[in-house]
Amino acid sequence: MDVTTADAAALLGVSDTEVRRLLRERLLDGRRVGNTWIVDAGSVHRRRRLGLDRGRAWSPRVAFAALLLLAGRSDGGLSDSELSRLRRSVRGSEAMDVVRRSRDLLASEAWRVPASRLDRLTDVAGVFVTAESALHLIDDDLGPVVVDAQVVHVGLAAIDLVRVRTELGARAADASANVILHVVLTDLADRLVDVRVQRVVTAVLLGAHEDARVRAAATDFLSGRVATLAARGDA
């Protein structure tokens, strides 16, 4: 059974724009008919059961600090008292709690990048490969992920967005997109150079994936990072 984006938005309690973002990122199943998205109803109900859009989200600043903690860092720009509270909160979290509460940290854009520049995406300062394209970044703990041959998924700090778009000669796109850009809403771009941070961000993205196997692999990875943080105590 199929539903419209408006129906899907009503079922999930989000905007029509958010539903379209979820479709672009393969977080919902659907297909395009002309300029219209048709959404798989089963996909909508599965997301609703997971509660990915439910509950209070961290602010982008706090969410990024939380992911830095899971990557073994504590330089997210919080005060000592804020960091201590956040560390206790993250230690007591399930992996899916981290995924849900980090949802406001990440935005997305669909780009069309000239073919001549597509092969050197990751040569551009600030860009890292993520989501389905992250095979070389994800170790065995995260397991296999599905590769999308038509679309490359990359991550980038928000502060670098305009520069990178200009450097690549990219334009906004929808059906013709060959790059999905996952924008991390932080000014702390230098933290994203750390592969450990890239892996945690990737796992949070994949923790909301439509494919249950990918989602399970991502949450297993995050569970391991939470356990590691808990084992370190108050340090």
pLDDT (tens place) for every residue of the chain, 235 residues total? 789 999 888 888 888 888 888 887 767 888 888 878 888 888 888 878 777 666 688 999 999 999 999 999 999 999 999 999 999 999 999 999 999 999 889 888 889 999 888 888 878 888 887 655 444 444 444 443 344 557 788 889 999 999 999 999 999 887 788 888 889 999 999 999 998 998 899 889 888 887 777 788 888 899 999 999 999 876 5
- For position 133, what pLDDT does the model report? 46
In a domain, 25, yes or no: yes
Q: pLDDT digit string (tens) for 90-132?
A: 999 999 999 999 988 988 888 999 988 888 887 888 888 765 5
Q: What total of structural domains would you count in the chain?
A: 2
Task: Judge whether 55 lies within some domain.
Answer: no
Give the phi and the psi of residue 213 in degrees, each rounded to 5: -70, -40
Structural domain for 159, as ranges? 60-231
CB proximity list for 233: less than 8 A, separation 6 or greater: none
**Claim to verify: residue 112 and residue 40 sit in the same structural domain:** no
Greatest CA separation found in the chain?
A: 55
- Among 50, 71, 86, which residue terminates a domain? 50
Same domain, 11 and 94: no
Residue type for position 24: R
138 and 31 in a common domain: no
β-bridge pairing 106-112 and 2-4: unpaired
Q: Are 28 and 39 in contact (CB under 8 A)?
A: yes
Residues 33 and 66 in one domain: no
71-88 pLDDT, tens digit each = 999 999 999 999 999 999
Indicate whether 66 and 175 sit together in one domain. Answer: yes
Same-domain check for residues 34 and 94: no
Supply 54's token pair.
């439910």
Q: What is the reported pLDDT for 36?
A: 84
23, part of any domain: yes
- Does some domain include residue 170? yes
DSSP string, the chain: -EEEHHHHHHHHTS-HHHHHHHHHTTSS-EEEETTEEEEEHHHHHHHHHHTTT-SPPPPHHHHHHHHHHHTT---SS--HHHHHHHHHHHHT--HHHHHHHTGGGEEEEEEE--HHHHTTGGGSTT-EE-GGG-TTT--TTT------SS-EEEEEEGGGHHHHHHHHT-EE-STT--EEEEEE--S-GGGGGSHHHHHHHHHHHHTT-SSHHHHHHHHHHHHHHHHHHHHTTT-
